[in-house]
Amino acid sequence: MTAVVLESTLRCPECGHLKTETMPTDACQWFYECENCKTLLRPLAGDCCVFCSYGTQKCPPLQTGSSSCCAG
């Protein structure tokens, strides 16, 4: 089994700012404010969280084969 990566680098779609964050393992993160331009990021249609939409890694549940971090 592949180890779950808990850090993901988010890229703001407005300004391109990059920020590495630790992903929560027990909840979805539906909103994220870019620290550079203050744009409020939300998941794209079909994605369960901002990490799945804008991050370099999918959320931990998706990495382990779950259908969504929000399925509970």
Sorted by where each begins, the domain ranges of the chain are: 7-63
Gyration radius (Cα) of the chain, Å: 12
State the pLDDT at residue 71. Answer: 57
Please give the model's pTM, rounded to 2 decimal places.
0.87
As a whole number of angstroms, the distance between CA 15 and CA 3 comes to: 31
Q: What angle do CA 64, 52, 1 make, to 5 degrees?
A: 15
Convert the pLDDT of each residue in 4-24 to its tens digit.
Answer: 999 999 999 999 999 999 999
Considering only residues 19 and 48, tell me which one the structure prediction assigns the higher pLDDT: 19
pLDDT at 67: 67
